[in-house]
Structures are given as C-alpha cells and as structure tokens.
Structure 1
Amino acid sequence: MANTPYPQSYYAASANAVPPRPVLQDDVETDVCVIGAGYTGLSSALFLLENGFRVTVLEAAKVGFGASGRNGGQIVNSYSRDIDVIERSVGPKQAQLLGEMAFEGGRIIRERVAKYQIQCDLKDGGVFAALNSKHMGHLESQKRLWERYGHTQLELLDERRIREVVACDNYVGGLLDMSGGHIHPLNLALGEAAAVESLGGTIYEQSAALRIERGANPVVHTAEGKVRAKFIIVAGNAYLGNLMPELAAKSMPCGTQVITTAPLGDELAKTLLPQDYCVEDCNYLLDYYRLTSDKRLIFGGGVVYGARDPANIEAIIRPKMLKAFPQLKDVKIDYAWTGNFLLTLSRLPQVGRLGDNIYYSQGCSGHGVTYTHLAGKVLAEALRGQAERFDAFADLPHYPFPGGQLLRTPFAALGAWYYGLRDKLGF
C-alpha cells in the first residue's frame, strides 16, 4: 500500500504533533462523505458536524497535504477576481450576495482558531504593495469598492507609511488590511482536523477515492474499503486527478514555488517587517512574503502552468527575494518546495452539484485560504436546504480552457507571459 508523506517543506518540519490516522479498510456508512482533507473538506466537515450530520473524510495522503498545507500562509480577503469583475458579469442580487461573502472566510478562520484553540501562529495585518502609480490607483479603487461592501479595516499607505511596515525601496505605497493576516497553514489544517474528530467525525488518511458509484445512495470506493453516504462533497481541488472528469475539463492545476530562509534573528527580522504584517505585491504574477514565528522569511511567487515541479526552486525564487531585500544576499535558504493550486479560466471558484447528492467546490485560482473556509460553510448550508448563497456561486458562468486539456497549458502560459510583460513595463 502506498504511503504518501508530506513534501519536505518548512511547514512539515515545524508541524504540530498529531496522532496517526487510520487507512480505510472496511465498509462504512455515513451521512456525508467528504473527499479531501484540505481546507474546503475540513471546513465543510466542521460545519456539518456542528449541525448534527455524521461525516467521514477520505484523504489520499495526509491532512493538509495539498495547497492547504503548502501555501504562503496569507489571509487575503475577496476572490482572485475582485467584486467589481463579478458586478460586471452577473446581476445585482447575485453580486450583492457574493460581495457580502467576500470577507467572511477570514472571520471563519479566526472563529475556528478561537473556538477550537488551534495553535497556528495567527497574526493580524496584510499589505498590498504598489510598485507604480497604476498599482496605487488600483488600490485606491479597491479600498472604495471594499468599503462599499462594509469592509472598513483598511488604510492607504503613502510612500512614507509603507516604509514603516516593510523595508523595501521598490514600493510607492500600499493598502493595509487589518482583517488580513497570516498563519502556519499546515497547523491550521491539523487543528481543524482535530476539531472534526472532537465532534465525532472520522478522517481516513492514505485512502484515495478511486471511484464514485453514483445514484440515490452513492458509494465512494478506495483501494481497501468503501463509504456509503447520503451526500458526497468533492473537495480535492488541484489534487483530485480525473476522479470527476466533468470537473477536470474546466480547470487546470498550476504550481507555485516557496522558499524559507534560515532563522534571521529578532533584530534583522524586525527591520524587514517591523509590524510583522504579511505582504503581496500588485503584479499579475505576484510575489508574497511574511515572517514565521521563529523569524524566518517565507517568500513565494511565480506560476508553473500544468503543475510541473521545477528542477531548482531556489534559483527561481531567490532572485525575487533579493530584489525586494538585497540585504539578505548572504542568508541561507533552508527549505524550498512547490505546491499546486487549481486555476479556472474566469479565476473565480467553481461551485455546483452533480445529480442530486454530489456537491463540489474547486478552482480558488491562487486565492484559497479564506475562500475555502467560506466554501465549507456554503456547502454545509446547501446540504441543510439553505441554498441561496450556494446558488450565488453555482450560477457564475464558467467555460473550458481553449483547446481542451491538450492546449490549455500553453494558452495559459502565453497569457501569463503577456501579463508578466505588462508588469515589467509598468502598464
């Protein structure tokens, strides 16, 4: 039997201790079978358990193995395409619902951390950093847009103020969101999994869903067992494979790369990010970074379309880090890894139902830490018969990538090259 360990990341090396979880080797019955123990699956399971459902979670590897345990650890509000894009493409009622939900995921994370006493190094404050006047104009518009939907924990930063929060000479200003922030993402997932189990849920690891027998009482088959359920929630995202071909057709796995320095020490760390906020820039192919609890710098960026693993991650990301912080030229890199996220053509999440009892959410498009927690609540509401918010997502239009699966990677890479050129030229 295959045993898939965590990748060699900083998060895996610093993860909280957890008990081993069993492999499914029997036939079990449950109300809801959740496929995937990342944020979407764990959030769904928690909300369902809190509302009296019996829940069984199947994980192909280990809790948080995918993007949930490998991402930059940043709590960023809204969606990969912001509310103004949604407003232009859907009706006012749908836009209003989606706009109101755009800031809910971060609140859910904080509620979970407090309620279940999850140790995940939660810190408040996130900065969007502007590299030019066009970026700054976008942030001014974003502040007005978000405030129109009641999100008011925002401060525009001029060139002087942004120097007070990040020691990088490349920025002309920024936007501080105090409801943003950062966490140890794998420890958040592990804490949520422990909360699931504390409520009577069961999580099986190393138990990949291989086949779904659809029908009035669907059955999920693994290598050594099966789960009979009333409902199924498919929450595999970029690691789902071809289990549901109709979901794979409208999405594409993409990789992003992350490095982590050796410990910097309190003094150097405080000079880089004096308030310990996380930062992402405003480029289309953006860079993002933050400090860890033991004063390392985590720095990520770039996209590999088609989710190939680069041969030398440090060679890709270290120059980006040194462009922001040349003072780190002699600092050793202790960890480098890649992780996959699922991209949609619209860069908005895909939510829906297949038949009467198979629900799914996927395609966060690189903006998933907060959205996935909201998705779990919305999916749980739908299973309880409260579908208005679920329908607001399900009714978003989605299209397959041009050229099908064969050509989706080169087309997406070509588009990214164009936007990357625009980033470099500043227009």
Structure 2
Amino acid sequence: MASWGAACIETEPLLAADTVVSPMSHDSPPVRRLADWDHERLEAVAAEHGTPLYVVDLDRVAENYERFAAAFPDAHVMYAAKAHTGQAVLSKLLETGADIECAAWGELQRAIDAGADPNTLQYTAVNPPDRDLDRAVELAAEHPGLTITGGARDTFDRLEERGYNGRVAIRINPGIGTGHHEKVATGKDAKFGIPYDEVPEVAADVRERFDLVGLHAHAGSGVLHDDLDDHCRAIGKVADMGREVIADGAELDFVDFGGGFGVPYREDVEPLDMEIVGEKVREAVGDLDAQVKLEPGRYVVADAECILTEVNTVKETPAATVVGVDASLATLIRPAMFGSYHPIRNVTAPEREAEPVSVGGPCCTSADVFCTDRPLARPERTDLLAIGNAGAYGYELANQFHSQPRPAEVAFEGGETRVVRERETLADVTRMER
C-alpha cells in the first residue's frame, strides 16, 4: 500500500496548474500578538470608520494558509469557511490557492460568489434542512464535482429521495473529542457523524446507491499542545477506518481529517510548530491509499483580525474598576458563549502603568464582559482598545442583541485599506419586520 503522500500525488495535485501562490514571507511569525499590529494604523482607521470596528489583515490570512500548507505538502488543504465567510477573506484564500469546505448552504453560495468553482467544493452539513439539501442537489446536478458529506443514515436516504446519486463522503464519529471547550469537541458528540463501528456497514450500503469518494471526520477545534496527542489518536482511528473501508472494496478518492489546529489566544502560550505537527499527523495517518485532506479554519484567520472599541466609562467600585466600551457580546460573543480568553491592549496609551480592570459592553447582562480583573494599561475615557484573535468565529457569531447594528469591517492588504463590510444601521436591523 502506498504512503498517503505518494497517493495524493498520484490522484490529484494540491493546486490547479494555473494557480500562482506567492512565497510566504520569512518574516511571518507563527502567531501575531496584539503588540505586533501597527497601532498608528489602527488609530487612523478607528478615527475614520468609527467603533466598534473589525479589522482584518488579508496578507496575514494568506501567510497563515501558506504556512499550514507548507507543513502538509502532500495533502489537499481546504479552508473551513465557517470560521470566517467574509467575501474578502474567501477571495484572498482562493487567490492564494485554497479550496473551500462548507458546512451550510449559505457558505456554498458565499464561496461561489467569491469565485470558487462549485466542482471543487465540499458540503459537510450537519442535519441539513430540506431547503438546503434541495439546493445542494440542484447545484451538484450542474456541477458533478461537488461532494456532499453525510453524517447520518437519514441524510443518505434523503439524498436518494431527491434522485441524487453523485459524489458523497461519510462523516465518521471517531469517539474522541479534542479542543479548547467541550462545546467544540465534535469528535465525541453524537450529533456529529456515523458511530465508528457502524461505518463499514453504512459504507457498503452507500456504495450501492451513490459514488462513495471519501470519509470525513473532525475531532474538535482550537487544538494546542495538550490536546495534540489525542487529536492524532483520533486521526489514527479515522485512517484505520479508511484502510478497512478500502479493503472492503471501496475506491476512496480521499480521507478528510478535518481541521482543529489552534492558535494561542493567551500571551504566555507558545504557538504550534507546524513542521512537528505535520510529522505527527503523517505518523498517525501511516500508509493510506487515498488523498489526505485537511481543513484549517481557525488557524488561518484567528490572529489575522482584531476588534477596535472605544472606552466610554471608567467606574471605580469597591469590587473592581469597571471599564465600559462600545463593543459588546453582540460584537464578539465568544467570551460569553465559551468563556474564551481574548487578549486586550490599550492602543492609545500602551505605556501607561497597568492595573487590574474589568472590561464590558453596553448589554444588560452580566455575560457582557470581555475580561475580569485583568492587568491593562490604565484605560481612560475615549481611549482605543484592541481585542485580539477575533478572526475566527468573531464576525460569524456577531448578532443584533439590544437592536445593536453589526459593526463595519475594514481590510488591510499591502499598504491599502478598504471597507469590506459596511456598518449596519438601525434600518438594517428592522428591515425585515412587518
């Protein structure tokens, strides 16, 4: 049996022949900290476009993708769109050479709008609504290269009911979950994928009805050093299942091991050494007569974006110094949803003496807090603060709680700055009401 590196070279190249990928800058660090952003440039865009404001560095997005792809030169690396579906981000990644994996119909459409060839897309929905499945089947009828992944027997039955007999992959539940929070440890959550021991039987059935081209799994998200061994153990189980299904007669184009590799949100945590990660993954996969696919999402975009927010209130209390800002859990919900740590920096005066403060927004809930008793260069009213690592699931989870319009998004690319998402107005918030 061939090694997975050799197998992928034989089946299909990583990039199309006419794709041009710029060489990755040797000055690109494995993680960008808030102190690495150009503070003068951040102050300038905040003054021009207001706050709260998302700022995405598209060059950093490309650098992160290229670093990941370089660590897996024989794999087919797809970007997991759910981390950030902004058109500017998707277009930049397509230009850089990435293909796109989509977890919902809307993501398929956004990828196509950004310039993706539908024949290169992979649709990995969980419990897809009827309307989404209808549209995916219609899209595949026109673009038979599209792959639809099913994680339940019902999904395959529903596809057959729609007359579909094209390319499918089976999502496996490896029974091992990893990541920064139990809510993202999908590899052990029954919601995701066919139970591991049932996969051979399901594969035999699916081969009779469809063109079974792959297996898929995703163990979790935000994997760093402590989770890496478990993550590779999950990869090894999925690879073992790939070999079993192939031995049973399936001719798989690929086995997709998902993404999940994290970036350090805390300043004292070191980034993953992707060369070492690549070696560990190759060891876990072993010989596999199919293309290996990987789907980084967070790794590509997390540290490429920050949020700018203005201080409007400083309140001394016996319990804490409370710093009020105009960003809220409607801007960035991850701290409220996952208890996530996001670095915060005083852009206006980083040299001031640090003191412990609690930073929160204008929402009428105690969950609207970005940090509690964290040392920060003493904020004063009208200071500009930056909240880091906002690129992954930041704007994607932004909402309109308290009738707050969602913020604008500005992109840095080279020396240019442009608005890539307009700030909503209250009229936008209420537009669909009757």
> TM-score, length-normalised on structure 2?
0.29
The higher-RCO structure (CA 8 Å, 6+ apart) is 1
> TM-score, length-normalised on structure 1?
0.30
Max radius of gyration: which structure? Answer: 2
